[in-house]
A and B are shown apart, each in its own frame.
Chain A
Amino acid sequence: MSETGHPLLVVRNLEKHFPVQAGVFKREVGRIRAVDGISFSIEKGETFGLVGESGCGKSTAAKAIMHLIEPTGGEVIFDGKNISGMSKDERRGFRRQAQMIFQDPESSFDPRMTIGESVAEPLRVNGMTDRERRRSIVEGLLERVGLDAGDADRYPHEFSGGQKQRIGLARALSINPELLVADEPVSALDVSIQAEILSLMEDLQREFNLAILIISHNLGVIRQISDAVGVMYVGELVERGPTEDVFGDPAHPYTRALLSSIPRPDPHIERSGMELTGDVPSPSDPPPGCRFHTRCPEVIQPDGLELDQTDWRTILTLADRVYRGDIDPQTVRESVLSVAEDGEREPEDVTLSEFEGRLREDFDIQQELEPTAVDTTIHHAIEALYEERPEVAAERLQETFATPCRDSRPASTTVEGDQVAACHLLETSVEASETVPATGDD
């Protein structure tokens, strides 16, 4: 990033895989790729926001960065030093320099300790033995976060959620850290309280020249407080860059979809209607190629194909299920009979046309789709499924509907300046822009 000095935190290809074990010998039978190669950096005094839906790996990423759990790959460099290579003493130093606050302020405090004792704990652990001095620092901090010095003698249950989060901030800041990692710090709070905590965090950042890594599923919160953002999807960073660029002109279809899903507080605006279908895939079995292709509304079509995006999406969803071997012909047959309330016939008696009708209806694929070649492929694929030959079905679909979005992993592409996204659409447009002279040069 900046030419002078080094960023405070550099995260490079960070990976955290959890093994899935089975049997008495705990043989590894699979891995959950919770964080699967993410990279970004944070400068001193800067706020970086990591945003994504639940299960995308953002909280795991925070824990792996802090080395609360050991990463399984990649490196985290803090102030020029690789954390994995740090000695015990250096690690302790890092723990002092990097503090964390969590979503649930309830469980962050020992209910039997006064607030003053809790806030002073990091000071005590780090060798400040003078009680009086600890006390005066704590009182100063409590006032700084908007509470009273006298609150030091009260217990956690006497405070509201927002107040506890303030106390959490006071505790994190008690030993002057360089980096604050905040995992969903305001998600459990009401909007008006969220606003208070966010503006407090902004003030404290200026005052202490803190670098902040904030993790949230709430795009409004991230937008509000971050200088730069990273958007995560199934363990990967699909886009990152300066907040204004990513939010103002999102480059990745997932970022666009995420932004357009947000209910906007203005009754005059209709949501743009780019609704994502389906659910987030599991990190234990992420889709091949671009992980977003199973839900993406902008998947690249094979050369020569120009289907309506909605039709194309429905075909891809069927194809995806066939590739994964997820469609059980027997279940389809049974479902034909159960919908038809037909108790007389056996599943074997279901005809091809009934079978095809059921599948087309389930996947919202039109009958007699244009062009005919497309429809014929679908028909043949369904026929192969009907004949219990799923590999043939998959082959047929793959022949006609192959897309780079499934076949290869998109590389990170610079969109403009520091904005980077991993999407095949950008790769092609970069190629295209190379042939067109005189585009933005900086």
Chain B
Amino acid sequence: MTDTEPLLQVRNLETQFHTDEGIVRAVDGVSFDVYPGETVCIVGESGSGKTVTIESITRILQMPPGEIVGGEVIFDGIDLTTASEKEIRRIRGDRISHVFQNPQGSLNPVYTVGAQIREAIQANRDVGKKAAREQAIELLDEVGIPEAGARIDDYPHEFSGGMRQRVVIAIALAGEPDLLLADEPTTALDVTIEAQIIDLLLRLQEERDMAIVFVTHDLGVVAEIADRVVVMYASKVMEQGHVHEIFDRPAHPYTRALLDCLPGPDGVTPIEGTLPNPLDHPDGCRFAARCEYAIEPCFVGEHPSLLPADGDEDHLVSCLLYRDGHDESVIDREPRRADPFAVGDDT
């Protein structure tokens, strides 16, 4: 992974919202890379800034009230934060596509699904109506819609929720993107349907060698699909690293606390306290007020910058205790194995 160039580089991204009550710093200096063909999960609770982060990448964010005020998003040598509207439109849907949480909202109820997929194909490729229709059928078949040839002329309401999400994925694939940005694409679905969609995304990724940035609050989904994980809290990246590092030896106290929130056989361990006010982030580390290891310096200055944990350049943590002169060994990095569903049929 390290020999290849990143496909996407997000550098110190800062996105704000202007509201009546003041400026909300929704994304406050976020950096991460995405390499070709890998899956990066951005995980965090509501209000952590994960959705705004990926909406800033292709600038699909409502602007105003939103505004990208700093940082860079480099995709294939172009800084998307400063690219012209024309340039970014060419990239959107063609090289970078989106899948959202709610498939209803992504489909137009008055057009057949065939027409909508065809439109996506023809927006990016110079092909005739007939060829586009043929490709649309192939795409529907590829995303697992049974009897694709017969269903292409159906309207969105004639599909179930899971099938609609498959249609949305077919549309996202129409431009043969290098990068798929998926925002909670399975959250609105039932668990058996969610499993189908996750398997579909993993299969498509392998077949097409496509990178995926997947935003979710569900650590189960993260464990299943992520190669690397970015943990966000209160508009900042708290930790990032390989999925195994994050689940086995989380470095940041917040990551561990989040893992311990999952219901397990011994109950749940809630995180004490509440999320900081996004209008007025506290000084120092954003998590300090809820952190059991917080020491005085944690409450002053800027939020700690990302540093390698265990000397590993691929596993970064923003916690003061990992700085020289502090002792990170006080942090208990063994998460309670929250796996209530070890039914014993596998493993």
Which A residues have a C-beta under 8 Å from some C-beta of B? Answer: 53-54, 160, 190-196, 198-199, 202, 217, 219-221, 223-224, 247-250, 256-272, 275-276, 279-280, 331-332, 334-336, 338-339, 341, 358, 362-363
- Tell whether B196 is near chain A: CB-to-CB under 8 Å: yes
Return chain B residues, CB-CB under 8 Å to A256.
343, 345
A263 in contact with B340 given A195-B268, A268-B244, A279-B160 (CB within 8 Å): no
| B191, B243, B340: the one within 8 Å of A261 (CB) | B191
Cα–Cα distance between A263 and B194 once the two chains are bound (Å) = 9
Return chain B residues, CB-CB under 8 Å to A269.
223, 339, 346-347
| B149, B264, B268, B337: the one within 8 Å of A336 (CB) | B149
Chain B CB within 10 A, most for which of A223, A249, A265 = A265
Return chain B residues, CB-CB under 8 Å to A249.
343
| B162, B223, B243, B269: the one within 8 Å of A263 (CB) | B223
| B45, B191, B257: the one within 8 Å of A262 (CB) | B191
Chain B contact-residue range equals 35 or more
Q: In the complex, identify which listed stretch (B101-109, B214-222, B295-303) lies at the interface while the others stay far away.
A: B214-222
A selection of 21 A-B contacts at a CB cut-off of 8 Å is A53-B192, A190-B45, A191-B262, A192-B270, A199-B268, A199-B270, A220-B262, A220-B341, A248-B344, A259-B341, A262-B220, A262-B341, A263-B218, A266-B223, A267-B224, A267-B244, A272-B346, A279-B193, A331-B150, A332-B150, A338-B137
Q: Are B160 and A192 in contact, CB atoms less than 8 angstroms apart?
A: no
Return chain B residues, CB-CB under 8 Å to A338.
133, 137, 149, 152
Return chain A residues, CB-CB under 8 Å to B45.
190-193
- Tell whether B338 is near chain A: CB-to-CB under 8 Å: yes
Cα–Cα distance between A177 and B147 once the two chains are bound (Å) = 53
| A272, A275, A341: the one within 8 Å of B345 (CB) | A272
Cα–Cα distance between A191 and B160 once the two chains are bound (Å) = 27
Cα–Cα distance between A266 and B163 once the two chains are bound (Å) = 28
Chain B CB within 10 A, most for which of A202, A256, A262 = A262
A261 in contact with B192 given A275-B199, A279-B163 (CB within 8 Å): yes
Q: Are B190 and A263 in contact, CB atoms less than 8 angstroms apart?
A: no
Return chain A residues, CB-CB under 8 Å to B219.
191, 265
Q: Are A192 and B267 in contact, CB atoms less than 8 angstroms apart?
A: no
A219 in contact with B191 given A266-B247, A338-B152 (CB within 8 Å): yes
Chain B CB within 10 A, most for which of A54, A192, A195, A268 = A192
Q: Are B345 and A260 in contact, CB atoms less than 8 angstroms apart?
A: yes
Q: Are B146 and A363 in contact, CB atoms less than 8 angstroms apart?
A: yes
Beyond contacts A53-B193, A192-B270, A265-B339: 8 other A-B pairs, Cβ-Cβ < 8 A, are: A198-B263, A220-B263, A247-B341, A265-B262, A267-B243, A271-B224, A276-B192, A279-B193
Q: Are A335 and B150 in contact, CB atoms less than 8 angstroms apart?
A: yes
| A217, A279, A339: the one within 8 Å of B191 (CB) | A217
Chain A, Cβ-Cβ closest to B219: A265
The digit string for B44-63, where 1 denotes a CB below 8 A from any CB of A, is: 01100000000000000000
Return chain B residues, CB-CB under 8 Å to A275.
192, 195-196, 199
A-B residue pairs, 9 tightest by C-beta: A263-B220, A335-B149, A224-B263, A195-B268, A261-B195, A53-B190, A196-B270, A195-B270, A190-B45
| B134, B340, B343: the one within 8 Å of A260 (CB) | B343
Return chain A residues, CB-CB under 8 Å to B269.
195
Return chain A residues, CB-CB under 8 Å to B193.
53, 279
| A191, A279, A358: the one within 8 Å of B149 (CB) | A358
- Shortest B231–chain A CB gap in Å is 13
